[in-house]
Structure 1
Amino acid sequence: MMIFTTVFGFANSPVAFYQMGYASIFWYVVAAIVFFLPIAMMIAEYGSALPKAEGGIYSWLEAAGSKRVAFIGTFIWMSAWIVWMVSTASKVWIPLSTLISGSDKTQTWSVLGLSATQFVGVLAILWVIFVTITASHGVDKIAKVGTFGGTMVSILTVLFVVISIVIWIGQHGVVLQPIHGASSFFKSPNPKFQTTIATLSFVIYAIFAYGGLESIGTLMDSIKNPKKTFPTAMVISMIVITVLYAVMIFMWGISANWQKVLGGKEVNLGNISYVMMSNAGVVMGHALGLSNGASLAIGSFMSRFTGLGMFFAYVGSFFVMIYSPVKALILGSDSRLWSKKITTLNKHGMPAYAMGIQCVVICLIIFGVAFGGSGAQDFYQILTNMANVTNSMPYLFIAGAFPFFKKRTDLARPFVFFKSKTTTNIVSIFVCLIVAFGIIFTCIAPIMTGDWQTAFWTIFGPVFFGAVAWIYYDVQARRHHLED
């Protein structure tokens, strides 16, 4: 259940259907086999060999032999959550708008001459400042909000599956997104995903759907009989999550015709979940023979309920992620790399000064993206691409460092999945290539269409944070004479 709630995301399936239609099922299954399983087993080995590691991913990479690589990799991992917060700070207003209005009205918000995108950007900046100040005083009570949000999303998933089955039965097995032979499961109905490069760039979306595993490996010391329990749980989780993703993607096609529901300009990656859940409610009403008014009422309820669940999920996650990665980096790395202000925790046990610096960085990025001149569709596409690419980068470090970690002979290894050196090297290289190609194609795709703004911001995240980490580490290492 812990793996499931960490990895599975309700919003991933409507995003997948919006991007690739039924064809996303194939890529999600491929990602589970070539990414989820090998990375899960690597993390299981890292975690079992270093069960007391306070720094998590930093401790794993450092154990592979390089403090510099550990610092850069962990810094990019932290930056991945920064980019996620940039994206979420803007998207959090969509479920709130949907909860209040019954549909996404953020694209019509305009105050003091600001465009809708700019105004949402300002709200996002104010939100980040509010959360940072509040979280610096402790988040014990806020954790309950996150739990409630997770429960709501679980209920939402079950509700969607039930509604889809009712629609399918009511439509006598007919799906609204027609299936034209095997090609429907390999070719996207989305005109933006027709080329080979664009299709291959979807790999990063599929990988991102299985993200979050790195936060599970540190629990190895709390698991009874981890040698057997943890890998078994990973395999079971992989099968359950993969099947659930595949079933849900197919079920979106039961209630939604891509061209009619998703082809309009008002639909984007920020509001896709609410648009499709509202549509599912309307279609169910019609399938049950209800009046048009009653069907629309069901659709409005579904969009509002989705808004409620997603809003609390966003809020809970945001309050945790605003401090957790920062704290992990500071506690895991050499304290001499940081000034005393950054390493000092306040009376609530929070790195308030470091969180303040993070707050400024997040706000500057939000301002740059929101006032960069893009419309709502491009705005959320940029944020999604940034989040996907930056969140995928740490897996290059985890997989790339794994063969060096395996060479250590001074570590107790209660769990070993990769038995031979050859298997370890082949799997590590293969996973790195899969992630790297996905990142490269995600960056290239907007360039091929002349969308230079999206391309710039997609590449900006990992390159910028990686360069900052490298320069910062080298300067501090020379100053304090740290040996790598």
Structure 2
Amino acid sequence: MSSNNNKGKLTLVSLVLMIFTSVFGFANMPRSFYLMGYGAIPWYVISALAFFIPFAFMMAEYGAAFKDEKGGIYSWMSKSVSPKFAFVGTFMWYASYIIWMVNVGSGIWVVVSTAIFGKDLTSSWSLFGLAPTQTLGILGVMWISLVTFISTKGLDKIKKITSVGGIAVTLLNVVLLFGGVAILIANGGQLAQPINSISDFVSSPNASYQTPFAVLAFTVFAIFAFGGTEVAGGLVNETDNPEKTFPKGLTLAAIIIAVGYAVGIFFIGIFTNFSALDVEGVHMSNVAYIIMNNLGYEFGQAFGFSEAISITMGDWVARYVGISMLLALTGAFFTLTYAPLNQLIGGTPKELWPGKMGKITDGIPKNAMWIQAGIVIAMIGLVSFGGDAADKFFAKLVLMTNVAMTLPYMFIAGAFIGFKKKDEIHKPFVMFKSVKSGMIAAIVVTFTVGFANFFTIIDPAINGDISSTIWSIAGPLFFTVVALLMFGSYERKIKVQPRGTKDDKVA
């Protein structure tokens, strides 16, 4: 009988693989090497211990307790703290995807260029005589419009592209590891980025990361690299013998992911000298393609191929990266255009949404999706026509994405204290055996995320770049104000309703 009940359940290996696929991001390694060199490695280990593992355990408890709730994280926080707290936190979580769409809507053209030409040529693109940055903004607007139009038709075949892209991106890690080992052997163990002392694993060769504030601010990149942890929360009830298998699988996955990031960053140093990246035209959105292009080139040089053949090999490796990323990003874009919005509207009281914004048609909030598209297009226009150079343009978008995507973790972790204190919430799966241990974990995670974001936000201002600091807080602050105004309107609306008509989802 037990064997029948456990049929189809996740084993330890399948659980680890699912968590790894959801969390591990290839592009995080070249970006981290670009920012910190080998100095990025310890921050990934620290982030795994202070954020990833305890936060994932929280997601497991939430997921098991609220497995039948439709509203996802909104329901978790609403029942643990209050509806208002939950809505602000959930709206912030949703806002992070708005920032993601702004970022990727323009940045995806770097991927397109690399997939076609084997290198990033976007810095020379021009439409109607516009500057490259403005051209990418126009292309981003066109992309958002096209994706929204197709998504509102209810087409979900794009998920096939997601799976193909996921496999292709996973294979990139194999290319990096085997390519790095081959180059290391062929070069007689010589590293392109030399290790002179232990300080190379603490300090950064990047001129922008020489102050303690800047180095501490890098923590947000390490935390962001563990994004997707919340996916683990829904896997508890799908796991065979979860009391033993889940904590073991989660801990093992965390170790593998942290070690994987550390090894990947180190391997980049095998064939890439940091000085080659410290040149004009290299920025956060194209550094992964430049580094992988260099992998192909250095592989050719290490094994005695001609300069021309080595360059061609580099371009083809970069094309493979571009095609893989393009497939994965396209699938993710179509899904994220409607999935977070669908959860936000589907899980919250209908009175929160003005007019027909909350209307769900064919399982999709079509009206809200077009409003969402308008907001994304306005933000792309605002940033792309701001007059900054392309590298600052992309750095600004990535900065906005990192801050906006990690802030909701503070809400979810903070709500966990209320969750542990409420005995009326049935908790079929418990990782933190006491309220005190749950509170300590929540405080550690909240402090870690807050600490990282604080230094990320203030570091540019300390160095005289007030604009970046303003952009880091403008997006999250704007959406917080919007959420409070919307919830205030909702509260006034339900107060004038006859008794008994209040939406039970916030009771």
On whether the aligned pair clears a TM of 0.5, the verdict is yes
Specify the SS of the correspondent of 2:383: helix
Structure 2 counterparts to residues 57-456 of structure 1, below 5 A? 57-259=73-275, 261-339=276-354, 341-347=356-362, 349-456=363-470
Task: State the alpha-carbon separation in 2 of the partners of residues 185 and 445 from structure 1.
Answer: 21
Task: State the alpha-carbon separation in 2 of the partners of residues 266 and 150 from structure 1.
Answer: 28
Query: 1:321-341, CA deviations, whole angstroms, 9 ceiling, x for partnerless residues?
Result: 001110011111112212462
1:24 alignment counterpart: 40
State the Cα distance separating 1:231 from its structure 2 match.
Answer: 2.5
Q: Which moved more, 1:306-315 or 1:422-431?
A: 422-431
Query: 1:148 touches 1:313 (CA, 8 Å); kept in 2?
Result: yes
1:472 alignment counterpart: 486
TM-score normalized by the length of structure 1: 0.97
Query: 1:70-129, CA deviations, whole angstroms, 9 ceiling, x for partnerless residues?
Result: 101000000001101111111111111011112100011112121100100110111011
What amino acid maps onto 1:309 in structure 2? S
Task: State the alpha-carbon separation in 2 of the partners of residues 414 and 15 from structure 1.
Answer: 40
State the Cα distance separating 1:215 from its structure 2 match.
Answer: 3.1
Task: State the alpha-carbon separation in 1 of the partners of residues 292 and 348 from structure 2.
Answer: 44
Query: 1:335-367, CA deviations, whole angstroms, 9 ceiling, x for partnerless residues?
Result: 2212462222223x2110011111111111111
- Aligned residue pairs total 482
Query: 2:56 touches 2:232 (CA, 8 Å); kept in 1?
Result: no
Specify the SS of the correspondent of 1:373: coil
Specify the SS of the correspondent of 2:357: helix
Query: 2:165 touches 2:327 (CA, 8 Å); kept in 1?
Result: yes
Query: 1:227 touches 1:414 (CA, 8 Å); kept in 2?
Result: no
What amino acid maps onto 1:8 in structure 2? F
1:36 alignment counterpart: 52
Specify the SS of the correspondent of 1:92: helix
2:11 alignment counterpart: none
What amino acid maps onto 1:124 in structure 2? G
Change (3 A) 1:228 1:50: farther
RMSD: 1.3
State the Cα distance separating 1:420 from its structure 2 match.
Answer: 2.1
Change (3 A) 1:336 1:224: farther
Query: 1:37 touches 1:235 (CA, 8 Å); kept in 2?
Result: yes
Query: 1:10-48, CA deviations, whole angstroms, 9 ceiling, x for partnerless residues?
Result: 000000000000000010110001000010001111111
Query: 1:139 touches 1:319 (CA, 8 Å); kept in 2?
Result: no
Specify the SS of the correspondent of 2:76: helix
Identity %: 42
Task: State the alpha-carbon separation in 1 of the partners of residues 168 and 468 from structure 2.
Answer: 33
Change (3 A) 1:3 1:208: same
What amino acid maps onto 1:341 in structure 2? K
State the Cα distance separating 1:180 from its structure 2 match.
Answer: 1.4
Unaligned 5+ runs, structure 1: none
Query: 2:63 touches 2:236 (CA, 8 Å); kept in 1?
Result: yes
What amino acid maps onto 2:85 in structure 1? V
Task: State the alpha-carbon separation in 1 of the partners of residues 385 and 354 from structure 2.
Answer: 33
What amino acid maps onto 1:400 in structure 2? G
What amino acid maps onto 2:356 in structure 1? K
State the Cα distance separating 1:442 from its structure 2 match.
Answer: 0.7
Task: State the alpha-carbon separation in 2 of the partners of residues 111 and 323 from structure 1.
Answer: 30
Specify the SS of the correspondent of 2:204: coil
Query: 2:51 touches 2:444 (CA, 8 Å); kept in 1?
Result: no
What amino acid maps onto 2:313 in structure 1? I
Query: 1:51 touches 1:220 (CA, 8 Å); kept in 2?
Result: no
Query: 2:352 touches 2:487 (CA, 8 Å); kept in 1?
Result: yes
TM-score normalized by the length of structure 2: 0.93
Query: 1:253-286, CA deviations, whole angstroms, 9 ceiling, x for partnerless residues?
Result: 0000001x20101100010110000001111111
Task: State the alpha-carbon separation in 2 of the partners of residues 50 and 232 from structure 1.
Answer: 22
2:4 alignment counterpart: none
Task: State the alpha-carbon separation in 1 of the partners of residues 388 and 476 from structure 2.
Answer: 21
Query: 1:337 touches 1:476 (CA, 8 Å); kept in 2?
Result: yes
Task: State the alpha-carbon separation in 1 of the partners of residues 402 and 169 from structure 2.
Answer: 21
State the Cα distance separating 1:414 from its structure 2 match.
Answer: 2.1
What amino acid maps onto 2:334 in structure 1? F
What amino acid maps onto 1:416 in structure 2? V
What amino acid maps onto 1:81 in structure 2? Y
Unaligned 5+ runs, structure 2: 1-16, 496-501
State the Cα distance separating 1:229 from its structure 2 match.
Answer: 3.2
Task: State the alpha-carbon separation in 2 of the partners of residues 38 and 388 from structure 1.
Answer: 20
Specify the SS of the correspondent of 1:111: coil
Task: State the alpha-carbon separation in 1 of the partners of residues 107 and 165 from structure 2.
Answer: 15
Quick check: 1:2 aligned with 2:18? yes
Task: State the alpha-carbon separation in 1 of the partners of residues 218 and 155 from structure 2.
Answer: 35
